[in-house]
Amino acid sequence: MNPSPAPGGLGRGAMNSGANLNVLATQYAMSLQQSWIPKGWQKDVTVPERMKCITEMTPCIRIQGAVPGDKAHFEAFETACTFELHTLEMSTSKEEYQSHCRKKLLEIKEDRSKKLQAQMSAVDAQRHHQAQKAHDAAQQTVMQQQMLYHRLQSNFASLTPQQKQQLIQQQQQQKQAALRQQQQQQQQQQQQQQQQQQQQQHSNNSSNSSNSSSNSSSNSSNSSNSSNSSNSSNANTSITSITSTTSTISTTSSSSNTTTSSRNNNSNYSSRHHNNRNHHSSPINCHSSR
């Protein structure tokens, strides 16, 4: 098996130059077109098909939370390139190669989905625990307030007006404190929901970026193939034009030969006709001589 370009060196070079994943995929596709020499059944596999396997697998391998263009994303791209090359070398047919790629991609997606669900479940459990804890604390506060209220209410009649006023103010302060605590809990829940939405949106953007990279690599390869087809078509057109010109020259030569032959026939006919006239006129000459 002829080796393909090493993805590791290409990936690190592009990463050091600040290139994004789309540029990296395009460079790797161009490198495959220039140096990859398929043999046997590999001739049925095109560069866009190889790049599709790589670019679809990269966002699934990428470490959760990694930003596109960072080291983790390039390491995921290199891992996908290594797996694709190993699968190409170990497969015995195009169908087996495609089957291994689809199976591996499905396994990675399922594994990542399970991890994401586990993370979401852990966050939900933590949120539920915090909410339950806050609810229990609020219930306990309410019970304490009620007990205090009933205890004070029993002695309310014996309190002085100043003590009654202090008791009312104390109850109002407790209600305000409970309300502030409830508002803080609601704000914390909203912030957690926003963080989860941002993580989900970031994951979707990463997938879209990888799909765009796949399309760009496929378009680049298709453009190269179209250029080669155009050159072949132009060459065939030139050959057809030369053949047509040769045919025209042959036709002209044949016409010229036909004209020459016709002239020779006419000349022979005139010569025979002249001889015949001389033959008919000779008796007259002989008679005159006599």
Look up residue 67 and give its DSSP letter. P
Q: Which of 242, 217, 215, 133 is nearest to 181 (CA)?
A: 133
Q: Which of 230, 234, 212 is nearest to 222 (CA)?
A: 230
43 pLDDT exceeds 50?
yes
Spatial neighbors of 86 by CB under 8 A, at least 6 apart, are none
The rounded distance, in Å, linking the Cα atoms of 40 and 44 is 8
More confident residue, 63 or 122: 122
Structure tokens at 17: 């130059």
Query: Given pLDDT bands bounded at 50, 70 and 90, which one contains residue 44?
Result: very high
247-261: pLDDT as tens digits: 444 444 444 444 444
* Burial annotation 136-163 (CB, 10 A radius, 16+ → b, else e): eeeeeeeeeeeeeeeeeeeeeeeeeeee
Residue 30, classified by CB atoms within 10 Å of its CB into exposed (0-12), middle (13-18) or buried (19+), is middle
The rounded distance, in Å, linking the Cα atoms of 105 and 100 is 8
Local structure of 78: helix, strand or coil? helix
What pLDDT was estimated at residue 90? 92
Helix axis angle for 21-35 and 47-61, nearest 10°, is 150
**Averaged confidence pLDDT in the chain:** 70
Q: Average pLDDT for residues 192-208, to the nearest whole number?
A: 73
The rounded distance, in Å, linking the Cα atoms of 11 and 82 is 12
Q: Which of 1-15, 186-200, 252-266 has the highest mean pLDDT?
A: 186-200
Q: What sections of the chain are H helices per DSSP?
A: 7-16, 21-35, 47-61, 71-90, 94-154, 161-289
172-189: pLDDT as tens digits: 888 888 888 888 888 888
Q: Which of 23, 11, 136 is nearest to 82 (CA)?
A: 11
Helix axis angle for 71-90 and 21-35, nearest 10°, is 30
Local structure of 166: helix, strand or coil? helix
Spatial neighbors of 246 by CB under 8 A, at least 6 apart, are none
Structure tokens at 216: 């760009």
135-144: pLDDT as tens digits: 888 888 888 8
- pTM of the full structure: 0.43
Query: Given pLDDT bands bounded at 50, 70 and 90, which one contains residue 41?
Result: very high
What amino acid occupies position 214? S
The rounded distance, in Å, linking the Cα atoms of 64 and 72 is 9
96-133: pLDDT as tens digits: 999 999 999 899 888 888 888 888 888 888 888 888 88
84 pLDDT exceeds 60?
yes
Percentage above 90 pLDDT, the chain: 15
